[in-house]
Structure 1
Amino acid sequence: MPAERLLPTPEAEDLLALVTEIARDELKPRASADEEAENFPRDLFTLIGKSGLLGLPYAERWGGAELPYEVYLQALEEIASAWMTVGVGLSVHTMSCYALAHYGTDEQRDRWLPDMLGGELLGAYALSETQAGSDAAALSTRARLAGDEYLVNGTKAWITHAGVADFYTTMVRTGEGSHGVSCLLVDSSTTGLSAAPRERKMGLTGSPTAQLIFDDTAVPAGRLIGEEGAGLRIALSSLSSGRLGIAACAVGLAQAALDEAVEYAKGRTQFGRPIIEFQGLEFLLADMAATVESARATYLDAARRRDRGLDFQRQSSIAKLIATDGAMKVTTDAVQVLGGAGYTRDFPVERYMREAKVPQIFEGTNQIQRMLIARSLKGA
């Protein structure tokens, strides 16, 4: 792990020490076996919640820690470095709470947010559909107001935690066009809501991903977050912060791969000396380290802008792009450092490489991030 971190307060340093302990003692020892068995570690999210880590960036009034985003992201990175499934799950849960925390009424927040931040409830974020991934405004899941309920029909796709979450922050169509999308907080026990079988994925196999099916699902009107038609604005705002979470997770994964590669290179001897002493490998490891630290600096810069109330959308896209592309490169290079051993499941780097692919895709593909960055440069 990084030798040191530049944290803003002693309290933040104590928090990260706690996160490091949990990651080392509770997460890392289970990661490989549970990923191979495709076990979702729900108990660890309860533990993380009881430890006060599910609500780090949210207000103390509702059980959060009200810490700067830069502190939350560094804690998230530490968790992801031990187990990517848990890191991504924490990032998704944090994003799932965003709509309620920022757009809900005080009455709604008082009712639901404490259990969300305390570990009693696990969240999922339901925006994507088969024909509405990168084009979020094209979503077709429809909600029709009938008395004091919304009747929801449609299918969401690629939903992390589908089938295991307790609530789904769901974007639905209540009108036409980009101003016809609304946000509903849907309880998992709602009649007419079900999850399809889990997708069979190349990585993050401990994290369930599935379609979410709404069949005349009756959602109380009191679970509308914000006003009707504000859903797309809420969704895009959530994603700007969520992308920073994915960037931090990607950096944690890359750091874990670098650490594994360095330790292997120190212990592996060829031609009478450790392979880390050969210049070709030294340069490869140096490039890996530069990639990790550059990506970390990029997401921290975006987070500090967010903490200061500055616009950070372009920086969020840049951080997500740089960190996830970097993780793909670093994990691939880690497999190369370990050689044949890196291609086996006896070492975790092959899993890291498989896990590094999907961060380049979710929360907006990296091609979409490039479009967003270019659009901001044009002033569009």
Structure 2
Amino acid sequence: MSDPQDQPRTGQVPQAEVRQHHLSVVLRRVHTTGAVSRSALTRATGVNRSTTAALVAALAEAGLVREETPRTHRSAGRPSPLVLPVAERAQVIALEVGVERIRAERVGLGGEVLAGRTLLPPVDGPTGFEQTLTRLTGLVEELGEPAAEGACCTGVGIAVPGLVRRTDGLVRFAPNLQWADRPLAAALAARLAPPWAGVPVVVGNDADLGALGEHARGAARGYEDFVYLSANVGVGGGLFCGGRPVPGRLGYAGEIGHMIVNPEGRRCRCGARGCWETEIGTDVISEAAGLPVAEDHSLTGVVEAAAAGDERAARALDDTARWLAVGLGNLAAVLSPQLVIFGGGLQDIYQATSDRIERYGATTGLARSRAPYTLRRSALAHRAPLVGAAELAFAPLLADPLGPGRPPPVR
């Protein structure tokens, strides 16, 4: 399925805006796909071959793409040149703030990871906001020096497990980090030194960005309506409808971990009782299995114990499959997705309990039988939020590749 953003515009639109749109379509396709033939780009833009060649030439002059001749060619006639991204030319920093660690990557155009680093917490429990800010600044400084001369520093994207106001990157509430009303985007931007000083800093919910990553480069490629479900300490969800993310009015949509599934259940960190994450959060599952919480909050140990015959671990997995089916039934009734992706610690659970989830799901009402959807494990594993953070940081460049502040022409 094509991305709705690739559809040519119609009506009376200024020529400059039409050109910007077509440049965006070309660069976005090259960025997410890699090597693309010029003929495929002509089909994507809906313009003629000479116009496509001019668009590619403009992007090549800016150093964002390059062309090469295909090594193999099966049809008669001259082969259509391949257009490829130049990873070193435009770069972003992607950051993921978690309870148990901070991950960072410097990513080039086309999604190539140019450098990476992971920091574990220096103390037990959530790290305070100011200390986290200092560590994030250090990571950008450490990873942020572009290796290639003439590289353009495009942006910084941050994934956070909490409510993020999309207009300004304010972390409204992150219960597992014990943050409230923290201006993460503005605070980090104020600390950045060249070459990253002045670049846009954008922040998103980690599950929302996990969904964005899976849509761009993972299990949801080609899907327009899907739910990305992730569990670590908490449980979050990212929603796509019609090929676009569903952020809600202020960016707070998708907090499906706080959907009430068991009113008689335990108290959640958010203050409510019986939230979905109190039944399927990774720490809850480990506790039910009688096992210590893994350092990375993974559930591999629970799955392995159940496979080895541990009855308590097996019961914990079965209970989790049942609560997953309850929550998925609610999501199916409201959203009617094509696909549900299991990310974070739930990847291990899905691998071990997919048959039980299907069986329990058959008892959750008519939503699944009337509007069937596919269940699938994440293709990006624990990198999904980082990939999404990079895509969020690249978004302004992809929307207007040759606009103000973009890479100057290569001389």
TM range (shorter): under 0.3
TM-score (norm 1): 0.25
TM-score (norm 2): 0.24
Of the two, which has the highest radius of gyration? 2
Higher strand share: 2
